[in-house]
Amino acid sequence: MPELPEVESIRRQLEPLLCGRHVIRCDSHPSVKFLPAREIIGMGFESVNRRGKYLLFGLDDGNEMVIHLGMTGQLLPVSDLSDPHLRAWWEFDNELILGYRDIRRFGRIRICKPNQYDGTLKTMGPEPLSDDFTVEQFHSTLKKSSRKIKTQLLSQRPVAGVGNIYADEACFRAGIYPGVRRLTKAQARDLHESIRYVLSIAVENGGTTLRDYVNVEGKEGTNQHFLTCYGRWDQPCLNCGEPLRRTVIDNRGTTFCGNCQRR
């Protein structure tokens, strides 16, 4: 499930591969989710950027191809175009064929003008590892909603790029129960610091591979070996030793420590 660290790892590897290259052939799965992949034939790639969990490919006609990897999306060189999970592919003028594999088809591809986004991209909060992500702005945004903190984080509005794994990790590190609806300024500061910490470490580790995630080289990340909370229910809390618990918050599996993360 690619979140910010996984998408950033992919972006860093794709940038030198694609910039300056032109698409000479391409095709896609007939689903409307993936059809826009066919629209960039003949175009050149000028940049590979990221916003939250979205990859933004700058094209030489001034538009951007936006790819969200969903749950199981992968971008990597391919040779077998009969792969049943291949949803789109682009052949470049250096014989590279970049494939978009997506087993569950939760991802999507679209073409749009830069900074003229809709949906989540339009309402997305600041990049968590940038100077734009401040405690004041973060606390102010959280105060505007009465939804549970984890739900707010997953909405991408208070901050970009946080998914289920890093929401659990950050709440655990901050000692905040993910189901609370209001945070004090001090709690917001702790959560702000924790989000930046867990994402920074995950980027350094090349992302978290639990099942499907691999980078452009087909290699798994290593951050799964450093998770302190997500997916560790029934295992002892690394702080207090109590068994971690599992619950469901807004239809998302959630791991927490009932002792360290008080409601």
The only residue of 25, 143, 144, 185 in contact with DNA, by rule CB under 7 A: 144
Q: Does 53 bind DNA (CB under 7 A)?
A: yes
Contacts of DNA in 25-44 (CB under 7 A) = 31, 33
Residue 95 C-beta: closest distance to DNA, Å: 29
Beta bridge partners, 185, equal: none
How many angstroms separate the CA atoms of 55 and 140, rounded? 28
Nearer to DNA, 21 or 87 (CB): 87
State the number of binding residues for DNA (CB under 7 A).
Answer: 36
x/- string (CB under 7 A) for DNA, residues 115-134?
Answer: ----xxx-------------
User: How many CB atoms within 10 Å of residue 203?
Assistant: 19
Q: Does 229 bind DNA (CB under 7 A)?
A: no
Q: Which of 210, 212, 206 is nearest to 230 (CA)?
A: 210
Contacts of DNA in 73-112 (CB under 7 A) = 84-85, 103-106, 108
For tokens 């709690």, what's the residue?
Answer: 187
Contact status, residue 23 vs residue 42, Cβ threshold 8 Å: yes
Please list, in sequence order, all residues whose beta carbon lies within 8 angstroms of the beta carbon of residue 226, skipping any fewer than 6 positions away: 201, 205
Nearer to DNA, 40 or 66 (CB): 66
Q: Does 154 bind DNA (CB under 7 A)?
A: yes
Binding segment (CB under 7 A) for DNA, from list 8-16, 140-148, 182-190, 194-202: 140-148
Residue 11 tokens, joined: 């972006």
Q: Does 224 bind DNA (CB under 7 A)?
A: no
Contact status, residue 205 vs residue 226, Cβ threshold 8 Å: yes
Q: Does 70 bind DNA (CB under 7 A)?
A: yes
**In degrees to the nearest 10, what's the CA dihedral of 104, 106, 111, 114?**
-130
Beta bridge partners, 76, equal: 99
Residue 2 annotated among the catalytic residues of the structure:
yes
User: How many CB atoms within 10 Å of residue 67?
Assistant: 25
Q: Does 250 bind DNA (CB under 7 A)?
A: yes
Q: Does 151 bind DNA (CB under 7 A)?
A: yes
Residue 3 annotated among the catalytic residues of the structure:
yes
The only residue of 13, 28, 74, 164 in contact with DNA, by rule CB under 7 A: 164
Please list, in sequence order, all residues whose beta carbon lies within 8 angstroms of the beta carbon of residue 186, skipping any fewer than 6 positions away: none
Residue 252 annotated among the catalytic residues of the structure:
yes
Q: Which letter does DSSP use for residue 239 in this model? A: T
**Residues in contact with DNA by the rule CB under 7 A:** 1, 3, 31, 33, 52-54, 68, 70-71, 84-85, 103-106, 108, 119-121, 144-148, 151, 154, 156, 163-165, 248, 250-253
